[in-house]
Amino acid sequence: MIQAAGILLTGAAAGAFGTLLGLGGGVFVVPVLVLAFRVPMHAAVGASLVAIVATSSAGASKNVALGLANMRLGLSLETMTVLGALCGGLLAPHLGARLLIALFAALLLAVSAMLWRSGPAQAEEGGSPLSGPGLLGGTYQDPASGKDVSYSVERLPAVLAASYGAGVVSALLGVGGGLVKVPALRLLSKVPMKAATATSNFMIGVTAATSAVLYLGRGDVPMPVVGPVVLGVLLGARAGLALSRALSDRATARIFAFVTLAMAAQMVRRALAG
Amino acid sequence: MPARDRDLEERAAVSRTLAAGVGLSAALLLAALAGSALGWDTRAWTRAGVMVMVATPYLRVLQLAALFARRREWRFVVLAIAVFALMGAGAALGLRG
């Protein structure tokens, strides 16, 4: 019972960060389950994938109602993330773990640096884009400032390519892929940070559910672990949502940059250790 | 119905689907956790909770296809069906091993 309580708290922390940053939370859940609770790696990834679906669905149910999650943009990008997840799943057995970890660390470092240095997105510069939101853009009321924010989506082909990469990364490393999608939406498409994290969160459930079915089929979702993880994630997601309403776009971007930097350091250590 | 009201109604419908999936799954998992504390065998409840949770995004994609079809936004209907087909293909590939 004490272990279940510990796993529940781990899920709560992952859910809060996951919802705040548009991540699935898998990057927090997997290492803690493996290192602190001695759950086998595959079982930890299986439980994490179900937790990612929970984070996504819980966060998205609120973000969709608020208009923060852009359903048209999310659906368009999901075609590529799911395709990437399928390709990644087929590619995974042919790549060495050390190479994957090193590549992931390099990606995280680059993303962290770009986010830290990035200027305000178009919506923070005050007002709607001159051309209007277009087919995939959106409008929402910023919960922190109370202002209406309108945005368009720039460089769609580049974001589609990044989404494909996010799907591949998700399948290879057992994470939601938000680490790739959020920076791509923010930096390439100039989508405001809150809409980027909410839309990423909306999409993550689809990718994770696709992979979770595979783990369930193989019996790699440990039932005594998955219950406390999912319940914890659901509790944490509520806290993450409240935090995301209170924080500015710049503060969210800075937190995201710090988290990616910390994880990059961890990945470099693992790659060097073999 | 004005476009803005219709948009709000559709977003509320998707939100309800996601919330219902999460709520039902959480209730099953909570019952399973409480039952196991009492020494009952609750693996079937946990499995049911997990299945409901994993099925929720599948339902959400189908719901988007229906909503966009009602709006006659066919390109998004095609995208939703493509996503659902890819999800199904992944499941079939995995189950086949």
Q: How far is CA A150 from CA A58, A136, B76, in A?
A: 25, 11, 21
pLDDT at A84 over 50: yes
Beta-strand pair A148-151/A138-141: antiparallel
Buried residues in A235-247 as b, exposed as e (16+ CB within 10 A) = bbbbbbbebbeeb
Q: How far is CA B53 from CA A28, A47, A56, A238, in A?
A: 20, 12, 10, 17
Tokens of A242: 């409240």
Q: Which residues of A touch B95 (CB under 8 A)?
A: 213-214, 217
A105 vs A208, which has greater pLDDT? A208
Residues of chain B with confidence (pLDDT) below 50: none
> Do the beta carbons of residue A228 and residue A5 sit within 8 Å?
yes
Looking at the complex, report in whole angstroms how far the Cα of residue A67 sits from the nearest Cα belonging to chain B.
Answer: 7
Looking at the complex, report in whole angstroms how far the Cα of residue B1 sits from the nearest Cα belonging to chain A.
Answer: 18
Residues 6+ apart with CB under 8 A from B1: B9
- Structural domain harbouring B12: 3-96
pLDDT tens by residue, A164-189: 988 888 777 767 778 788 889 988 88
Q: Which residues of B touch A79 (CB under 8 A)?
A: 79, 82-83, 86
How many separate domains does chain B show? 1
> Do the beta carbons of residue A26 and residue A51 sit within 8 Å?
yes
Q: What is the ipTM of this complex?
A: 0.92
How many separate domains does chain A show? 1
Identity at A257, one-letter amino acid code: A
> Do the beta carbons of residue A97 and residue A273 sit within 8 Å?
no
- Cα–Cα distance, A244 to A147 (Å, whole number): 15
- Cα–Cα distance, A29 to A51 (Å, whole number): 8
Report CB contact under 8 Å: A217, B53: no
Give the number of other CB atoms < 10 A from CB of residue A160: 16
- Cα–Cα distance, B45 to A262 (Å, whole number): 37
Report CB contact under 8 Å: B18, A60: yes
- Cα–Cα distance, A271 to B48 (Å, whole number): 38
% of chain A with per-residue pLDDT over 90: 16
Q: Which residues of B touch A209 (CB under 8 A)?
A: 54-58, 87
* Global confidence as pTM: 0.83
**CA count, 13 A, side-chain hemisphere, A217:** 14
User: Which among B21, B50, B55 is the nearest to A221, CB-wise?
Assistant: B50
- Structural domain harbouring A194: 2-273
Best probe of the B interface among A53, A80, A163, by most B CBs < 10 A, is A53
pLDDT tens by residue, A228-253: 999 998 888 788 878 877 777 778 77
